A and B are shown apart, each in its own frame.
Chain A
Amino acid sequence: MEQEKYAHLEKELSPKPPILKNVIKAFLVGGLICLIGQFIALFYITFFDFTERTASNPTVATMIFLSMLLTGFGLYKKIAQFGGAGAAVPITGFGNAVVSSAIEHKSEGYVLGVGGNMFKLAGSVILFGVFSAFVVALIKTILVKFGVVSW
């Protein structure tokens, strides 16, 4: 049998991913995580001396802390299996990527194991995140210089 014919057969017989169902679940899980984040931000603004802008740092730290706990107790992977991108895209997904790698490599020691591997999944998020932030800032700076937009 030729490869193309087999690929066709494989497509026909393999279970199809339930895209609509997955999108709805991702929306609900992602939305719920962001809603929790919003409450935490409001908590910092209401009870501490933070503004809407400065509250983001402690909020992010709290969300990562919660995701660390969930990862450690083996719950985050269950949330992610249900929620897909809804669990991967928020900051908690980033925290999960770092912590899961750290746990995985603990048996190889703290320096070469945990230290050397904890960013093996999150490293590319940091790299491309910083790089795209740089590009966006560069474009905005140029546009501001030419008076197209203002800060």
Chain B
Amino acid sequence: MKNGILTFNSMPSIHSAGVTAGPLEKKKSVFAQSFDKLYEDERCDLPTNEDGHKQLMYDAVMVALSKAKKDVEKIDFFLTGDLVNQMTPSNFTAQALGIPYLGMFSACATSVSSMITAALLAEAKQANWLIAGSSSQHNAVERQFRYPLEYGTQKAATAQWTVTAAGAVLIGQNKPGTPSISCATIGKVVDMGMTDPLNMGAAMAPAAMSTLSSHLNGHSKTVDDYDTIITGDLGSSGFKLLKALANEQGLPHTKNFRDAGEEFYGMDPSFFAGASGAGCSAAVFFSDVYQKLQKGEYQRVLLIATGALLSPLSYQQGDTIPCIAHAIEISINEVSMI
């Protein structure tokens, strides 16, 4: 039984990355310096939030392509997703780009699920160049999952703030000296009975733990094999729970653990427990983590993007919040086995 364990012997490389983010992220995110393109307007000067959402994703792809000096025509597949109903921002981006497209949905874990799928296509030699990524736009996502933006309600300290950001990576065949994908683990859906949509970190932490232990067992790795193990958007309260679960499951220490959601806004309490959204993990993984790999600060990292698979309908009907996490291992200077 494979149990979600994937190995990429050809080690497809991530040739370039592009990250775009909104005005609030420009001002408040600790990663703003590492992002490629920042907007002054949250809708990117377009009429609707969803138009702005699409533009974020489109520009992230264009940045990634221009860094690798590749034309859109050279790209074989485009794999992205977001959180808006029927993923119109991703669909419309695909229409504008004109690349064969597969919409991917793993909620906020889409950044990694799209990379895994792209790596599989590259490993199977079915593609030379692929774009993977995900995005979220605060206003467009909040209106769908929560209350109107201007509605006054008191949020608890466990709530998270959906980021306005998009990230895209260009994946292709192995190129030495470039961050490359060696293995991955597809997670199982885990539901520990959490019901509060304003405490998603607590719902997602067990899914992250489940995928982390499957990955370590399945690939015979230990926590110390990684310079960092970074989760997508658990936020400060979910991240605390993940560390507690890890200790309980016999992982000796968690000092190399990071959480993109917790770090995103520099622990500013006006963002409650931190950032979330499909763009959160993409923006941090494809900027800060990717750049540290390129510079050699990191040799091998494990990215675990986490997603809450709920809808406003499901929780209003009393369902608990099922969650998923996918893991992908990226390293530099490891030689491909082919």
Contact = CB atoms under 8 A, between A and B. Distances in A.
A96 B194 contact: no
Given A1-B206, A14-B158, A107-B47, A9 B241 contact: yes
B237 A81 contact: no
Nearest to B240: A13
Contacts of B143: 104
Given A13-B240, A15-B237, A22-B154, A100 B148 contact: yes
A74 B192 CA distance: 37
A107 B48 CA distance: 7
A103 B48 contact: no
Contacts of A41: none
Nearest to B157: A15
Interface residues of A, number: 36
A64 interface: no
A14 B235 CA distance: 11
Nearest to B199: A14
Contacts of A72: 150
B237 A77 contact: no
A80 B241 CA distance: 29
B149 A9 contact: no
Interface residues of B, number: 28
A13 B237 contact: yes
A145 B193 CA distance: 52
A107 B143 CA distance: 12
B155 interface: yes
Listed residue (A6, A7, A17, A76) with the most chain B CB atoms within 10 angstroms of its CB? A6
A121 interface: yes
A88 interface: yes
Contact of B244 (A13, A71, A79): A13
A76 B150 contact: yes
A74 B248 contact: no
A129 to B, nearest CB: 18
A59 interface: no
B156 interface: yes
Contacts of A17: 156-157
Contact of B193 (A3, A9, A13, A71): A3
What does DSSP make chain A's interface, helix, strand, loop or mixed?
A: helix
A77 B150 contact: yes
A14 B244 CA distance: 12
Interface in B142-164: 143, 147-158
B148 A121 contact: yes
Given A1-B248, A13-B240, A6 B206 contact: yes
A139 to B, nearest CB: 32
Contact of A14 (B192, B206, B237): B237
Contact of B150 (A9, A100, A107): A100
A61 B26 CA distance: 40
Contacts of B156: 15, 17
Given A7-B193, A13-B244, A14-B199, A103 B158 contact: no
A88 B237 contact: no
Contacts of A100: 147-152
Contacts of A115: none
24 contacts: A1-B192, A6-B192, A7-B193, A7-B194, A13-B240, A13-B241, A14-B199, A14-B202, A14-B237, A15-B157, A22-B154, A71-B150, A72-B150, A76-B152, A77-B153, A80-B154, A81-B153, A85-B154, A88-B152, A96-B151, A96-B152, A104-B148, A107-B47, A121-B147
Interface of A: 1, 3, 6-7, 9-10, 13-15, 17, 22, 71-72, 74, 76-77, 79-85, 87-88, 93, 96-97, 99-101, 103-105, 107, 121
| Across the A-B interface, the 6 shortest Cβ-Cβ residue pairs | A80-B152, A104-B148, A100-B150, A84-B154, A100-B148, A100-B151
